[in-house]
Structure 1
């Protein structure tokens, strides 16, 4: 049939074009294959959900038990991250201020602390799986990785507390805050990958993904100061606290998806020419035996 012959011809032409693209543009082809076939958006969404489940109860725990200086620092950092003003800033002040009933705060703080502790390791594991899938590595054994999850969480909490002075350039303004935030973010994202991958990938190979993740989070950080205040205040006015939750979760999905894509693209760039010629040697092939202990036989795409 003519239609069948035409379809076969188009299919053959598509295969030739794909083979040509794989030969001429191996990096772009591999990036496209990873982005389309790795369920990256699903991974980013799960990471955002775990981050939200850990962050919200932890916020109430900090409000209940942390010293006033720590609460003030956290409030300033959240203001710097999201440019909070108006009603959303008032809501934050009510949570972290001294106006709430002390007994109620201790009750909600205790519940929040229990929930945060239960959710925290899930957040760490989700980030570890993002890193492992980017490099097509199997899961690390729990006994090898568990202390790394805890250390990573503590450093993330410290980084959040320092967002205020970092983004403000330690008082100098955005002209210094933006490059400082980018440099610190690059270091954090490179260390994050190395730690959660259990040292199975050399530091040099982690640079592209760290730079891309830092660029994405820096750009989104600047965007948040422009977009989030109006979005949060409008959501609060129209839907109350539910609107606040949905807006924050939506923003976390965007940020976590950007980090997921950055790590994956960075892994491809580091393993393909021309960067691989400068970053890796023949003995530094990700997926070989780990440096810190054995790994499970679970394929990297599962779990």
Structure 2
């Protein structure tokens, strides 16, 4: 019985799916997703609040960005609006210390994504190339989210405008995650090997939005009644964990797909288990 289990375990470990799952476990995908959510909440969300406050058009406030990203219905959307609404005096109340803290956590967030990408591809990035790449990537992410959020203001009426917005979001997202991987990895991986990861990430984000619409949306409404603002925050953070899992998991899947397509000869080998020895 033990021999049969060992045999099936070896077959699983060396199968395509088994290697993908094992690689994800070895790079601590879930642990990194939790870190992504934590840093995203303390760094990315305040940054988007500030960008929304700086928006001269005032057409899109920060809570609406979260609502669009999660695909929330009317009632859950009001709960998010109540929790995350911020007045435009946020600009005048932002001092040098709070701005410095925001920059520190923002770069820490970018560094966590860079570390995840590097671990997935088995690369080391020179310290001299880290800071400026993280800064550029964070700026690009903020610009991407700003354009995507405000596209709903310009393209919001009618079927064709909705389709145009969907195509715009997908193309911009594909371009950002393709470019972002190359930037954070220091250009050490050819662009064609990074494309499958960008495609997988966008497919995952579309699936996450659909999941959020049907699962997180009713949970936001029920948790807001049961636990108040804390319940709403809990669901938003859970959604951020999902975003982190998709962003890093999409890159992981992309590396394996690139290998399957013959773009490179990477083959992840599982760590030997006690029963293998």
| TM-score (norm: length of structure 2) | 0.79
Corresponding position: 1:144 with 2:121: no
Corresponding position: 1:11 with 2:14: no
The 8 Å contact of residues 131 and 196 in structure 1, kept in 2 or not, is answered as yes
Corresponding position: 1:53 with 2:42: yes
Relative to structure 1, the CA distance from residue 18 to residue 90 in structure 2 (aligned partners, 3 Å threshold; closer, same or farther) is: closer
- Alignment partners' CA distance in 1, 2:41 and 2:17: 33
Relative to structure 1, the CA distance from residue 155 to residue 126 in structure 2 (aligned partners, 3 Å threshold; closer, same or farther) is: same
- Alignment partners' CA distance in 1, 2:84 and 2:43: 20
Q: Deviations over 1:92-119 (max 9, x none)?
A: 68414x5xxx4x7733676653332120
Counterpart residue number, 2:271: none
Corresponding position: 1:245 with 2:233: yes
- Post-superposition offset of 1:224: 3.1
Relative to structure 1, the CA distance from residue 223 to residue 70 in structure 2 (aligned partners, 3 Å threshold; closer, same or farther) is: farther
Counterpart residue number, 1:117: 103
Match of 2:258 among 266, 270, 279: 270
Alignment of 1:134-213 (within 5 A): 134-138=120-124, 140-166=125-151, 170-171=155-156, 172-213=160-201
Counterpart residue number, 1:33: 22
Relative to structure 1, the CA distance from residue 113 to residue 63 in structure 2 (aligned partners, 3 Å threshold; closer, same or farther) is: farther
Higher Cα radius of gyration: 1
- Post-superposition offset of 1:148: 0.8
Q: Deviations over 1:166-204 (max 9, x none)?
A: 568934344343343223222211111111111111001
Counterpart residue number, 1:132: 118
- Alignment partners' CA distance in 1, 2:95 and 2:50: 4
Structure 2: runs of 5+ lacking an equivalent:
268-277
Kindly tell me the number of residue pairs found equivalent between the two proteins. 261
Once superposed, what is the RMSD of the aligned Cα atoms?
3.1
Counterpart residue number, 2:247: 259
Q: Deviations over 1:205-240 (max 9, x none)?
A: 111111111100112123334444443343333323
Relative to structure 1, the CA distance from residue 22 to residue 93 in structure 2 (aligned partners, 3 Å threshold; closer, same or farther) is: closer
- Alignment partners' CA distance in 2, 1:62 and 1:22: 46
Structure 1: runs of 5+ lacking an equivalent:
1-9, 287-303
- Alignment partners' CA distance in 2, 1:154 and 1:107: 22
Alignment of 1:272-287 (within 5 A): 273=260, 275-276=261-262, 279-280=263-264
The 8 Å contact of residues 168 and 177 in structure 1, kept in 2 or not, is answered as no
